[in-house]
């Protein structure tokens, strides 16, 4: 049977009799009779109709996937001549793979679409849709690195998006990538923006809000996290969330007890997994900052017990790292094994200390430059620009 006969519904064999060998024989003549434009146009039309017939007839998904893969394989040597057919086949393949939960093959099928082809120009809106869908599929397969590559390509096209829905999909995909890469503060911003989007259902908005709360809670301590906690605490919607008690405790800077940690873990179980190491680190850092607001000094042994009986060396390393990063106003007295806290009114003051230190460094640099300029002018007066008869300098 020829491809022309297959496309005639009355002459087509029943779907139940279709096999891969049958389609292999049916598609064998692909590429023949292309000596003129008429033959090429005819084959393009027939193959486009062939993909439509497969979609409409609804054969077994596994068989349809095999047939489309076979078609793409046979078109590979002449892909430029059959770009419309290739795109249609790959879009259908992506649909089939996604419907069966095969996320990576679905994303790979989309990656094969020639988006930047000169023979078949694509609109920026279409390109953006393909890149965002690729990212969603890779994220479903827990591959944030590949998802980020697609989003980076989409970022340059986002201002050509067709409407708020597409922009929202882009932001949600970005949030999930940031979340997967432990960039929690960036993820919190995207999730919170999504929680305010009227295009989402109420359940989806609350889900995005809950994820924003989790990201703010487990983010590293610092002024930006403090602002994120304040933003969420002041949002009345968070009051009904089981995550709110932990959010409230962190916002007010109180010490977190073991019973509160257990309750928080139980609430998290309903929202998705969080890396236990990340959660522990966030709670330890928060309790360390909270302790600095209560105590003027503390032994390293006491601090280790306060943080949940962690090793003393681990507690000391954490304090050292946070001091170095200007996130904890303190010094370590290694002789007496003491941590001496410098009292601050809130975490934002820590940022002020860092800013003043930066200003002092700039001021010292400017003074050194002035001193060097004065030395040069004293030793080489002809270089003084204020001289009445300036001469070329011979340094």
Give the pLDDT of residue 125: 85
Q: Which residues of 58-86 are buried (b: 16+ CB within 10 A; e: fewer)?
A: ebeeebbbbbbeebbebbeebeebbbebb
Digit-by-digit pLDDT tens for the chain (395 residues) are 677 777 777 777 788 888 888 888 888 877 555 444 556 788 888 888 888 888 887 777 888 899 899 899 888 888 788 888 899 999 999 999 999 899 999 999 999 988 887 777 888 888 888 999 999 999 999 898 899 988 988 888 877 776 778 888 888 999 999 988 889 999 999 999 999 988 888 999 999 999 999 999 999 888 889 899 999 999 999 999 999 999 999 998 888 888 888 888 888 877 766 788 888 889 998 999 888 888 888 899 998 988 888 899 999 999 999 988 888 888 988 888 889 987 554 444 544 555 666 677 888 888 888 888 888 888 887 766 665 555 555 54
Q: What distance in Å separates the CA atoms of residue 332 and residue 322, rounded to the nearest whole number? A: 12
Say if strands 297-299 and 330-333 run parallel, antiparallel, or are unpaired: unpaired
**What's the N-to-C CA distance of the chain in angstroms?**
92
Taking the CA atoms of 84, 90, 91 and 92 in sequence, report the sign of the dihedral they define.
Answer: positive
Q: What distance in Å separates the CA atoms of residue 208 and residue 194, rounded to the nearest whole number? A: 6
Give the pLDDT of residue 230: 92
Give the pLDDT of residue 345: 44
Q: What distance in Å separates the CA atoms of residue 276 and residue 138, rounded to the nearest whole number? A: 24
The DSSP 8-state label assigned to residue 25 in this structure reads H
Q: What distance in Å separates the CA atoms of residue 322 and residue 328, rounded to the nearest whole number? A: 5
Cβ contact 224:202 at 8 Å:
no
3-class secondary-structure state, position 177: helix
Neighbours of 341 (CB within 10 A): 21
Give the pLDDT of residue 98: 92
Residue ranges per structural domain of the chain: 1-122, 184-195+203-267, 347-381
pTM: 0.69
Q: What distance in Å separates the CA atoms of residue 232 and residue 240, rounded to the nearest whole number? A: 12
Give the pLDDT of residue 162: 66
Give the pLDDT of residue 219: 92
Give the pLDDT of residue 247: 93
Give the pLDDT of residue 347: 47
Secondary structure element (H or E) that encloses residue 340, with its range: strand 338-341
């Amino acid at each position: 049977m020829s491809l022309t006969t297959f496309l005639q519904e009355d002459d087509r064999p029943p779907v139940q009799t279709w096999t891969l060998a049958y389609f292999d024989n049916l598609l064998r003549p692909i590429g023949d009779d292309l000596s003129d434009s008429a033959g090429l146009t005819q084959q393009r039309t027939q193959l486009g109709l062939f993909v439509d017939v497969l979609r409409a007839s609804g054969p077994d998904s596994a068989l349809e996937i095999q047939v489309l893969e076979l078609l793409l394989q046979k078109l590979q040597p002449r892909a430029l001549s059959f770009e419309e057919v290739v795109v249609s086949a790959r879009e259908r393949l992506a649909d089939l793979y996604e419907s069966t939960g095969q996320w990576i093959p679905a994303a790979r099928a989309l990656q094969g679409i020639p988006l930047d082809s000169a023979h078949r120009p694509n609109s920026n809106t279409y390109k953006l849709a393909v890149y965002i869908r690729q990212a969603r599929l890779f994220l479903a397969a827990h591959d944030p690195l590949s998802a980020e590559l697609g989003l980076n390509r989409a970022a340059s096209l986002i201002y050509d998006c067709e409407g708020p829905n597409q922009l929202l999909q882009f932001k949600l995909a970005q949030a999930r990538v940031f979340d997967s890469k432990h960039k929690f503060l960036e993820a919190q911003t995207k999730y919170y923006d999504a929680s305010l989007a009227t295009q989402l259902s109420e359940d989806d908005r609350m889900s995005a809000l809950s994820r924003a709360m989790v990201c703010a809670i487990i983010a590293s301590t610092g002024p930006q996290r403090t602002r994120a906690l304040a933003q969420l605490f002041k949002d009345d919607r968070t009051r009904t969330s089981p995550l709110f008690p932990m959010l409230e405790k962190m916002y007010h800077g109180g010490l977190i007890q073991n019973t509160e940690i257990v309750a928080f873990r139980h609430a998290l179980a309903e929202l998705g997994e969080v890396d236990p190491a990340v959660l522990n680190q966030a709670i330890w850092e928060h309790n360390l900052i909270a302790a600095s607001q209560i105590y003027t000094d503390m032994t390293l042994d006491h601090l280790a017990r306060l943080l949940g009986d962690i090793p003393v060396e681990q507690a000391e390393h954490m304090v050292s790292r946070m001091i170095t990063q200007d996130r904890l106003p303190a010094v370590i007295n290694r002789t007496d094994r003491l941590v001496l806290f410098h009292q601050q009114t809130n975490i934002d003051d820590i940022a002020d200390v860092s800013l003043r230190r930066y200003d002092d460094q700039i001021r010292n640099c400017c003074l050194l430059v002035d001193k060097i300029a004065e030395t040069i002018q004293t030793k080489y007066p002809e270089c003084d620009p204020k001289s009445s008869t300036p001469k070329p300098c011979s340094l």
